[in-house]
């Protein structure tokens, strides 16, 4: 049974930093690209960042480029999202997800999803 468990969310002031982690189990982690998505209240889910199997590709949404960094550790079955210079508009539930094909921004191509972790950025 595939499980993705996100952690690291919380309340932070604008300009602050957080590190989100996603621990995967029940799958061959290195065979999957991984992605981070987010959903704010009343808004559709949106792509944040993705990382290919060997970390050679890391596409980002324009809104987070140069502020967020995605990384993975295939030995530990984890994917991280380092978030710096946080803004109130980054407030959302953040989800990690697996993609057996590629590190793509399209959420419809992702197979398994975690339950999410709340990130709240106060102004």
| pLDDT of the residue at 91 | 98
Give the model's pLDDT for residue 79.
98
Tokens of 110: 């992702």
- Kindly tell me the sign of the dihedral angle through the C-alpha atoms of 71, 38, 12, 62: positive
At 89, is the pLDDT very low, low, confident or very high (cuts 50, 70, 90)? very high
CB 91, CB 121: distance < 8 Å: yes
What confidence score (pLDDT) does residue 39 get?
A: 98
Whole-angstrom distance, CA of residue 99 vs CA of residue 52: 9
Q: How far is the C-alpha of 33 from the C-alpha of 73, rounded, in Å? A: 12
Q: Which is it for strands 68-73 and 78-83: parallel, antiparallel or unpaired?
A: antiparallel
| 104's tokens | 């793509």
Percent of the chain with pLDDT over 70: 100
């Amino acid at each position: 049974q595939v499980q993705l468990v996100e952690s690291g969310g919380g309340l932070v002031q604008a300009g602050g930093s957080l590190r989100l982690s996603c621990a995967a189990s029940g799958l061959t982690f290195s065979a999957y690209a991984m992605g981070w998505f987010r959903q704010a209240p009343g808004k559709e889910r949106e792509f944040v960042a993705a990382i290919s199997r060997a970390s050679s590709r890391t596409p980002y949404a324009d809104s987070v480029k140069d502020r967020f960094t995605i990384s993975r550790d295939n030995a530990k079955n984890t994917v991280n999202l380092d978030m710096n210079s946080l803004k109130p508009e980054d407030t959302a539930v953040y989800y990690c997800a697996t993609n057996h094909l590629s590190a793509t921004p399209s959420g419809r191509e992702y197979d398994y999803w975690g339950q999410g972790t709340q990130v709240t950025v106060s102004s």
